[in-house]
């Protein structure tokens, strides 16, 4: 028994000797339960819904107030035309719009029926379906209350005419393909780069390379180039499969989409290089990439759950995840067919992240060498 106890103590010493491993083993479960507890939600909270119509009409005003009173919805702007509402949805400023016709109140009072048009962003079919169902529920409850006041009957009704922009067939591929592209590029660039460099550290081959007359910058570049090439190949193959097999359209510029992908690849390579600098073993590198990069990318980038539904603290944290901005750009270019001006914000943020991550990683890599 003494020998077994000695082996157990020895194993505990090995675990707690490495501070990074200790941090991962003890702190990461706490981080995971927070992420899973707050980020995973099928609900869509604070979805901005624009209104098209004459809100001075008492009937329209009452419906709008009930939409704004729903805990999942928030009324955005009052717009004069549906085209303005479509533009705001395209820019990502609203999730949906409810359009009341000029004769809405008259039709409802005279005929007991009135058409309400609901515009929703089909580029994210899951969110679009959820937001639309919330709006329909509000309209259904409202029409029962109003019809009882007017006629004492429950035969009158609003007839929602739902228009899903960009994805009328509700194809789920439109939602997950941009996220999968981002996840694949992140895994190849970050994890493979980090593990390969740390493996050379462990085997001692990195020291042999460093005694050569080649400058450290070119050594780093030579190590990153193969993963850059592999990322381009994978990006091309996934894009071809998505378009020709899954019928996901590419409405925007291929050049613009490729440029966004290259910038994201650059930021991912910077992350992988940074992980390789702070990791002493392949095990540590794998854990940091898996728990510190892949998990946040899946949970907080909008790949699975909308960022708008997360608590404010997690929304702020998600802003520092490069994949979030890349996924937004891919959706806008592929599904909505927008140009450079519409993705200028996301492109600028991602470019800044790439320059910062590559700069600090190369500097620290040279210092550690």
Tell me, what's the pLDDT at 149?
63
Tell me, what's the pLDDT at 350?
95
Average pLDDT over residues 240-267: 90
State the pLDDT confidence band at 254, using cuts at 50, 70 and 90. very high
Contact 264, 322 (CB under 8 A): yes
Q: What is the pLDDT of residues 17-64, one digit of tens each?
A: 766 666 666 666 666 566 555 555 556 778 889 999 888 877 788 888
In sequence order, the β-bridge partners of residue 164 are 120
- The whole-angstrom separation of Cα 114 and Cα 71 is 25
For the entire predicted model, the pTM comes to 0.78
Please give the mean pLDDT across all residues of the chain: 80
CB-CB neighbours of 21 under 10 Å: 17
Share of the chain above pLDDT 70, in %: 80
- The whole-angstrom separation of Cα 230 and Cα 223 is 12
Is the pLDDT at 107 greater than 90? The verdict is no
Query: Which is higher by pLDDT, 244 or 213?
Result: 244
* Nearest residue to 97 (alpha-carbon basis) of 50, 65, 43, 142: 50
Q: What is the pLDDT of residues 287-313, one digit of tens each?
A: 788 777 887 888 888 877 777 777 778
Tell me, what's the pLDDT at 141?
80
Tell me, what's the pLDDT at 206?
67
Is the pLDDT at 258 greater than 90? The verdict is yes
DSSP state of 94: -
């Amino acid at each position: 028994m003494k020998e077994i106890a000695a082996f157990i103590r020895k194993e505990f010493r090995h675990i707690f000797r490495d501070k990074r491993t200790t941090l991962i083993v003890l702190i990461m479960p706490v981080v995971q339960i927070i992420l899973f507890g707050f980020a995973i939600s099928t609900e869509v909270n604070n979805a901005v819904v624009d209104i098209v119509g004459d809100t001075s009409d008492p009937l329209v005003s009452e419906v709008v107030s009930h939409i704004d009173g729903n805990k999942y919805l928030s009324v955005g702007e009052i717009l004069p035309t549906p085209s303005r509402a479509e533009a705001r949805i395209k820019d990502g400023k609203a999730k949906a719009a409810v359009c009341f016709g000029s004769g809405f109140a008259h039709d409802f009072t005279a005929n007991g029926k009135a058409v309400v048009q609901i515009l929703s962003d089909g580029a994210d079919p899951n969110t679009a379906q959820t937001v639309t169902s919330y709006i329909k529920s509000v309209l259904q409850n409202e029409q029962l209350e109003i019809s009882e006041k007017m006629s004492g009957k429950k035969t009158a009704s609003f007839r929602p005419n739902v228009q899903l922009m960009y994805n009328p067939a509700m194809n789920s591929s439109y939602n997950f393909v941009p996220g999968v592209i981002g996840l694949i590029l992140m895994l190849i660039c970050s994890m493979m780069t980090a593990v390969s460099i740390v493996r050379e550290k462990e085997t001692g081959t990195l020291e042999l390379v460093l005694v050569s007359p080649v400058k450290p910058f070119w050594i780093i570049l030579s190590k990153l180039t193969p993963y850059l090439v592999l990322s381009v190949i994978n990006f091309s193959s996934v894009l071809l499969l998505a378009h020709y097999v899954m019928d996901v359209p590419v409405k925007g510029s291929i050049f613009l989409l490729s440029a966004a992908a290259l910038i994201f690849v650059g930021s991912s390579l910077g992350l992988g290089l940074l992980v390789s600098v702070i990791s002493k073993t392949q095990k540590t590198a794998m854990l940091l990439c898996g728990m510190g990069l892949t998990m946040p990318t899946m949970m907080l980038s909008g790949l699975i759950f909308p960022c708008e539904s997360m608590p404010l603290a997690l929304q702020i944290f998600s802003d520092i995840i490069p994949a979030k901005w890349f996924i937004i750009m891919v959706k806008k270019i592929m599904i909505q067919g927008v140009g450079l001006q519409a993705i200028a914000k996301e492109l600028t943020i991602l470019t800044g992240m790439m320059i910062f991550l590559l700069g600090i990683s190369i500097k620290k890599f040279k210092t550690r060498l």
